[in-house]
């Protein structure tokens, strides 16, 4: 019963990663966990497991508690699946240990793998949680592919937690191709990738987020384009714009430029005050 419960729960987690988050890496991890579970249980006596199944005589069948089956969202289904998965794995480890210590050890490993997977999925699906870990945010401003790629590699190696690609006056096909390569560098380094201005290119390239200017799409409209939860930043240049941006509910807001800069020649410096 606990094997079935764990396998079914891992399928719920896997499909949440696949169809809700659209994340290939997380889907692969959930699938790998499910297959490791099945392979490990497969080393036990299958006939004994099947013959021990007694749905009609099981006193727990049909027993529920208040709100046990209440689900308000797909995220609720995911959370419930994670709880069932780890509980079932713990029960399996305890009982299997009586006869087969190696398989019990595998159940313990899978339980801790499930805890880590749940945490990573929550961080991935919660853009605020993902962005809270950012300490060094770098903006790359260049239209030259070779320079962008070189800078992205150097920033990633230098300790950046988040890199934004800012490429102005570039044709869409070139910008998209550059964004795809930029995003891959960031993903390989485990850092957050942000595309400046273009929510469509950010989504198409698989970036973690988009940074919107005052004349770009409203935050609400940018969210409608997302295939997975998207970090959305917003530029502001005054306290009035800052207050208005906060009302839109972006993940984060930038205020500036603090000092005069050639990248924003038409925007007056707001200063430190």
Predicted pLDDT at 182:
96
Percent of the chain with pLDDT over 90: 64
Contact (CB, 8 A) for 161 and 137:
yes
- Residue 136 CB coordination number (10 Å): 12
- Share the mean pLDDT of the chain: 90
- Name the least confident of 73-77, 177-181, 196-200, 269-273: 269-273
Mean pLDDT of 153-181: 94
Position 143 confidence tier, pLDDT thresholds 50, 70, 90: confident
Cα separation values, 80 from 61, 69, 218, Å: 18, 9, 34
Question: Which range, of 23-27, 30-34, 160-164, averages the lowest pLDDT?
Answer: 23-27
> What does the pLDDT read at residue 252?
93
What is each CA distance from 65 to 68, 75, 214, in whole angstroms? 5, 20, 50
Confidence check: pLDDT of 152 > 80: yes
pLDDT tens digit string along 225-235?
A: 987 789 999 99
| 134-145 mean pLDDT | 90
pLDDT of 199 over the 90 cut? yes
- Residue 54, pLDDT above cutoff 80: no
Residue 262 confidence (pLDDT): 81
* Token pair belonging to 256: 């500036």
Asked whether the bond before 257 is cis by omega within 30 degrees of 0, the reply is yes
Percentage of residues in the chain with pLDDT exceeding 70? 95
Residue 190, pLDDT > 90, answer: no
Whether CATH 3.40.50.720 fits 133-255: no
Is pLDDT at 155 greater than 80 in this prediction?
A: yes
- Residue 117: band (very low, low, confident or very high) from pLDDT cuts 50, 70, 90: very high
Helices (H) and strands (E) in the chain, counts: 11, 6
Q: Where residue 145 falls among pLDDT bands split at 50, 70, 90?
A: confident
Q: What is the pLDDT of residue 60?
A: 72
The CA-atom distances, in angstroms, between 256 and each of 139, 148, 232, 269, 270 are 14, 23, 17, 7, 6
- In the chain, where the domains are located: 2-125, 133-255
Q: What is the mean pLDDT of residues 152-176?
A: 94
Per-residue model confidence (pLDDT) at position 110: 98
Predicted confidence at residue 22, as pLDDT, reads 77
């Amino acid at each position: 019963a606990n094997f079935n419960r764990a396998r079914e729960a891992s399928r719920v987690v896997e499909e949440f990663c696949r169809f809700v988050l659209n994340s290939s890496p997380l889907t692969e991890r959930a699938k790998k966990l499910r297959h490791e579970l099945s392979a490990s249980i497969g080393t036990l006596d299958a006939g004994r497991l099947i013959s021990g199944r007694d749905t009609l005589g099981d006193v727990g069948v049909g027993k529920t508690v208040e709100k046990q089956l209440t689900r308000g969202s797909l995220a609720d289904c995911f959370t419930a699946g994670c709880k069932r998965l780890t509980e079932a794995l713990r029960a399996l480890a305890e009982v299997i240990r009586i006869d087969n210590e190696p398989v019990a050890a595998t159940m313990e490993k899978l339980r801790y793998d499930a805890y880590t997977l749940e945490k990573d999925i929550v961080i991935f699906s919660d853009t605020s949680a993902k962005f809270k870990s950012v300490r060094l945010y770098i903006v790359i401003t260049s239209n030259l592919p070779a320079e962008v790629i070189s800078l992205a590699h150097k920033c990633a190696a230098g300790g950046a937690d988040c890199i934004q690609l800012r490429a102005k006056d570039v044709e869409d096909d070139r910008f998209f191709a550059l964004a795809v390569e930029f995003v891959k560098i960031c993903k390989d380094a485990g850092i957050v990738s942000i595309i400046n201005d273009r929510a469509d290119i950010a989504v198409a390239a698989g970036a973690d987020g988009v940074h919107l200017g005052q004349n770009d799409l409203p935050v609400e409209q940018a969210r409608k384009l997302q295939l997975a939860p998207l970090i959305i930043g917003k530029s502001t240049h005054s306290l009035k714009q800052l207050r208005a941006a906060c009302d839109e509910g972006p993940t984060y807001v930038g205020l500036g430029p603090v000092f005069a800069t050639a990248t924003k020649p038409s925007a007056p410096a707001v200063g430190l005050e």
